Amino acid sequence: MDKIIELIKEKNIGKIEENVSLKKYTTYCSGGKARAIVYPKDIPSLVELLKIIKENKIKSKIIGNGSNLLFSDKLYDGILIKLNEFNKIKFIGKNKVRVGAGYPLIKLSLQTAKKSLTGLEFASGIPGSVGGAVYMNAGAYKSDMGYVVESVKVLTPELKIINLVNKELDFHYRSSFLQKHPGYICLEVLIQLKNGKREAIEEVIKERRKRRIESQPLEYPSAGSVFRNPEDNYAGKLIEDCGIKGLKHGGAMISEKHANFIVNYKNAKSSDIKYLIDLAHDKVLENYGIDMKIEQEFVNWE
């Protein structure tokens, strides 16, 4: 790995950080160290990096803001790629916006509100990147990225740049083409919104922020909802009905405020968090026969 890192530095691909704690790069604030995190400065640099990774058979992963990831506590002996430099934003015509994959989703929601554009209010509390949101088809309040994305510029596994339109992206509840085809990388997104009134849009955002503060344990690190809501039911209620709301393991806890949140209340290890995720899943399955789907992605547990 040392030689690979030196090669990346020589080719001036972008900023590189070595042996960094993943606690800084995930919203759970847990996990081991990463051997290297690379921030490609542009698309050609990303392509060059991916060629190096492929030729040398190095383990790698694109990560956004780490808001849906649970890394294990061991070393990630590979290269993590962050597209923070892919952060350009451009408003087009009356109601479209072209935005880089590394742009923060919450910031985008607030920026579009200032332009009196409605449709991204649901995203005002989702702490991910735009690329990560498309990948996961992030959503809330009965809306998601599938409702607003017109097209996405992607890098294919063959390192070619193509555009995928909404229909090709196969958006479903917390799912997309990109999630099912992880070799494709989101570079840039074209979003279509509707014209509205700035005051009304910002009032919706303000009201939802107030509701989140009241109902979610925002005072602790977490990754948001752990499980998808089963059809005609609520994951939080099912977990609470199992009698394990507030249960602690190591530094992790099933939130006393909302049972579908697992929080890092005291320097939790990722293994503490995963223990509670598995426990909640198994308890609901045992008591109600419901196989709840986990929203978060487990990385480096093999």
Q: How buried is residue 44: exposed, middle or buried, by Cβ count under 10 Å (0-12/13-18/19+)?
A: exposed
Comparing CA positions, the residue from 73, 71, 76, 98 lying closest to residue 87 is 98
N-to-C CA span, the chain = 20
Rg (CA), the chain: 20
295: annotated active-site residue: yes
Task: Look up residue 61 and give its two tokens.
Answer: 């992963």
Question: Which DSSP symbol is given to 260?
Answer: T
Cα 6 vs. chain centroid, distance in angstroms?
A: 29
Comparing CA positions, the residue from 99, 97, 107, 68 lying closest to residue 83 is 99
Identify whether the C-beta of residue 219 lies closer than 8 Å to the C-beta of residue 135: no
198: annotated active-site residue: no
225: annotated active-site residue: yes
Catalytic residue among 85, 143, 174, 271: 174
Catalytic residue among 30, 116, 225, 270: 225
Identify whether the C-beta of residue 281 lies closer than 8 Å to the C-beta of residue 227: yes
Q: How far apart are CA 287 and CA 302, in angstroms?
A: 29
Catalytic residue among 48, 121, 188, 295: 295
Helix (H) and strand (E) counts for the chain? 8, 18
Task: Look up residue 292 and give its two tokens.
Answer: 């709840």
Three-class SS of residue 78?
Answer: strand
Cα 210 vs. chain centroid, distance in angstroms?
A: 22
* Catalytic residue ranges: 174, 225, 295
